Structure 1
C-alpha cells in the first residue's frame, strides 16, 4: 500500500509541477484532483479522512482574500498605487527599484499571486510604451513578491497554512518575520539594480498621465479595518471575508461578477493537494526522512544551516506548500517552535525564487507577460539562483539575531 501511495504522490507531482504533460495534458488543478481521487480509491485515505485532510481555515482565508482583492482592484486601489509610484520614477533604474519595492510591500498584505496577476500587465504596458527591456521588471515583480509575502500570515498560501498549524497570531508572526523579509527585499532590490542598471536605456521615462485616478471611498477604510482585525487576533478567514462583504452589501446586487474573478481553480487545487499530501504523510515515510535528515534542535548556527538547507531542498523537490504540510507535524518537537515556524515560512517562500518553476507567482508573471516577452527558464535562473543564495542566509541570520535579542 505504501508503495502505491508514494507512486500516486510522485505522479501527481509530475502533473502539477510540469503544468501539462504531453501524455496527460490535464493541467495543475485536474492533476491534484486526480491524485486525490486515486488516493481514496487505493485506500490511502478513507473519504472521511480525505475531507478532514482539507485545511478549511486556509481555504476560507484564501477565498476571502481573493474576493476582497477583487473589490479592492475594482475600487481602483492597485491602479492608484501604481500610478502614484510611477510618478516618482524619473529613470528606468528608478522604475526598477520602485516596481521591486511595490511588489514586495503589496504582497505582504494582499497575497503574492494576486499582486503578480494585477501588477504584471500594468508594468508590461508601461515597459512597451517606454521601449524598456521587460525581463528586469518581470523578475522584480515575481522575486520581490515572493520575498515580501513571507512577512505576514496572509502573504501567500504556505504562510496561511502555517498560521493555522502554529497558532501564531498575525501581529506576533509579522513582528518576527517582517524584519527578515524587509532585509531580504532590500537585498533583492539592490541586486536587481546591480544586475541590470547597465542594460537599461539612459534618459528619462515618458511623463505619467496628469489625470488623477479616482478611488472608491470605501477601499481605504475597509482595508484599514481588515488589517486592524488581523492584528487584533480575529479569525483571519472571516475577517477577510467580512471586508469583501462590506462591498457586497454596499453594492446591493448579486456578486456574481466579483465571484467570477475568484480563482476557483486554485482553491480546488489546494483541496486536492491537502488530500494527496496527507495520504503520503500517513505512510510514515516523511516522518522517517525528517527524523534522519533534520537537526534535533536549532540551538547553533550549524543546526540552523542544516534546517534551512533541508527546507530549501525540499521546497524545490516537492514544492513549498507540500513541504510545509509535511514538515508541519514535526515542528512542535523543537525547543523554540516559534523560531521553527517562522523559519519554515521564510525558507520555503524565499526558496521559491530559485527557479522559474519554484512558485506559482513566478509562473503567473511569465504567463501574463508571454505575448510581449517570453521569460525563459535559464533567463530567470541566472538571477534567481544568485538572489536566493544571498537572500536566504540573510533572512535566516536576521531572524536568529532577532530571537536572540528578544530572549536576552
Structure 2
C-alpha cells in the first residue's frame, strides 16, 4: 500500500477512536504509533531521534519536569493559599472567579508557555472549586482557552511562535507589537462571552461563601520551611523560562533542572515522613506523557509522507500572487488543521512553504532576512501564527494545554469528553479567527 494512504488510514482510524472515546486515547495513540513504525511509514530511528518526524522531547521533558515540581509544591499548601486568595479577591462569586483565573492564566501564558501555565493554575482551580462545592469543568475549560489566547501574543507563549520567529527572523518585540494587541482584543471578547455561558448559571451556597471569606490564607500552609524553598525555586524556574533563549537552554532543560532542585529541597522531608525519595515521580501523569509520545509519532508520520505539506500547498496554491487571499487562506486553513493535528508539526511543514512562496514572489531578492520580511510576505507569517495558535482551541488534541487540562480534570473525577470540549472550543476558535481576520485586514490591507 502507498505510504501516504497507509499513514492517512492509520491516523484517521486513531482519530476516530479518540473522538468516540471507546478506548482510552493513550492506548489508541501508542497503538497507532506502533503501527506507523512496524509498517514502515516511519523508521524507529525517525520516530525516536528525528527532530522533524519524531517525538518532541522538549515538550515531553517540560511536562515531566513541571509535573514533578507541582507534586512537591502541592505538599506545602501553596495551592490552597493561592486558591483562598483568589476566591477572596473575587468575593467567592463563581463567575468573578472564572474571569480572574482565566485572566491570570492568559497573562502567565504570555510570559511562560501555555502548558507550564495550566500545570500551575489547574491545582489552584481544583482547590477553589472543592472548597465551594462547584463543578471545576466550567473553570478549567476556559483556562485552557485563555492559555492558548494569551500564548498567542508573545514569541515565547506558544511553541509555534518560537518556530515561526526562528524561520522568519522575527524578534520578541515584533511579536509583542503585532500579535499582542489582537490577543488582548480576543481575550476581552472571550471574557465577555463567558458571561452569556456561565454568568447566571453558577451559584454558591451562602454558608460556603461566608466560610471561604472567613479563611486566612496563611493558615493553609502545611510546611513553612519547604514552602519558602519552593517559592524561591519557583521564582528561579520562571526566570529561567523567561530568559531561556539568552541562557541558550531549552525550556525542558530549565524544567528538569528545576525539578531536580525541588527534589533535593524535599529530600529531608521525605525521609522524615518515611517516604521514598522518588515518590514524586510516581505521581507524574504518565498517561498524558505517553499520549503525547504516541501523538507526536502519528503526526510525524503524516509530515514524513508529505500529507501535511500537500494540505499546506493546497491552502496557498490557488491564491499565489494574491497577498490578501493567501493570508486569509493560511489563517483559516491553519486554524482548521491545527484543531485536527498538533500545531507544532503543522507549522514545521508550513514554514518552508512560506519561504518558497517568498522566493517565487521576489526572485531577485537574495538576502534571506530581506526576502522573508517583504511587505507582502509579513502578513502571511502573522496569519500562520494566529491560525496555528488559536486553532488549537477547537478540540482536545488541538493544543498541548488542552490535553493537560482534560487529564487533570479526569484525575480529579470530572471527565471532559471530546465533544463537550469541542462544543465550547469550536465557537471560541471561529470567533477568535474572525477577529484575527478583521485585525489583519485593517492592519495590512
TM-score bracket for this pair, using the shorter chain length: 0.7 to 0.9
Q: Say whether the 8 Å CA contact 2:160–2:344 is kept in structure 1.
A: yes
1:104 to 103, 106, 109: 106
Q: Which residue of 1 aligns with 2:39?
A: 42
Deviations 1:367-387 (A, max 9, x none): 544676565666545543332
Matches of 1:397 and 1:12, distance apart in 2: 34
Q: Which residue of 2 aligns with 1:387?
A: 428
Deviation at 1:97, TM superposition (A): 0.9
Q: Which residue of 2 aligns with 1:318?
A: 341
Larger Rg over CA atoms: 2
Matches of 2:151 and 2:264, distance apart in 1: 30
Deviations 1:227-273 (A, max 9, x none): 44236362323344444444345556896334444445555444444
**Aligned ranges 1:26-41 → 2 under 5 Å:** 27-41=24-38
Matches of 2:182 and 2:57, distance apart in 1: 27
- Are 1:330 and 2:353 an aligned pair? yes
Matches of 1:369 and 1:40, distance apart in 2: 32
Residues 29 and 167 (structure 1), Cα distance of their counterparts in 2 relative to 1, 3 Å cut:
farther
Residues 375 and 74 (structure 1), Cα distance of their counterparts in 2 relative to 1, 3 Å cut:
same
Deviation at 1:321, TM superposition (A): 4.2
Deviations 1:283-318 (A, max 9, x none): 344433332322666974433221111112212333
Q: Say whether the 8 Å CA contact 1:13–1:318 is kept in structure 2.
A: no
2:314 to 284, 292, 307: 292
Deviation at 1:122, TM superposition (A): 4.3
> What is the root-mean-square deviation in Å for CA atoms of aligned residues?
4.1
Deviation at 1:135, TM superposition (A): 5.0
Matches of 1:290 and 1:106, distance apart in 2: 31
Deviations 1:29-63 (A, max 9, x none): 44444434433433334444444424689413541
Residues 139 and 243 (structure 1), Cα distance of their counterparts in 2 relative to 1, 3 Å cut:
closer
Q: Which residue of 1 aligns with 2:65?
A: 67
Deviations 1:196-239 (A, max 9, x none): 32323389733342131454342354035314423636232334
Matches of 1:72 and 1:343, distance apart in 2: 35
Q: Which residue of 1 aligns with 2:271?
A: none
**Aligned ranges 1:139-178 → 2 under 5 Å:** 139-152=141-154, 155=157, 173=175, 176-178=178-180
Matches of 2:144 and 2:254, distance apart in 1: 27
Residues 84 and 270 (structure 1), Cα distance of their counterparts in 2 relative to 1, 3 Å cut:
same
Q: Which residue of 1 aligns with 2:364?
A: none
Matches of 2:260 and 2:167, distance apart in 1: 26
- Are 1:218 and 2:232 an aligned pair? yes
Matches of 1:242 and 1:128, distance apart in 2: 32
Q: Which residue of 2 aligns with 1:89?
A: 90
Q: Alignment partner of 2:325: what SS?
A: helix
1:353 to 390, 393, 401: 393
1:190 to 189, 192, 215: 192
Residues 325 and 79 (structure 1), Cα distance of their counterparts in 2 relative to 1, 3 Å cut:
farther
Q: Which residue of 1 aligns with 2:262?
A: 247
Matches of 2:179 and 2:7, distance apart in 1: 35
Q: Which residue of 1 aligns with 2:272?
A: none
Matches of 1:300 and 1:80, distance apart in 2: 51
Matches of 1:319 and 1:308, distance apart in 2: 16
Matches of 1:102 and 1:301, distance apart in 2: 35
With normalisation by structure 2, the TM-score equals 0.71
Matches of 1:154 and 1:244, distance apart in 2: 21
Q: Say whether the 8 Å CA contact 1:16–1:29 is kept in structure 2.
A: no
Residues 383 and 265 (structure 1), Cα distance of their counterparts in 2 relative to 1, 3 Å cut:
closer
With normalisation by structure 1, the TM-score equals 0.77
Q: Alignment partner of 1:18: what SS?
A: helix
Residues 78 and 165 (structure 1), Cα distance of their counterparts in 2 relative to 1, 3 Å cut:
farther
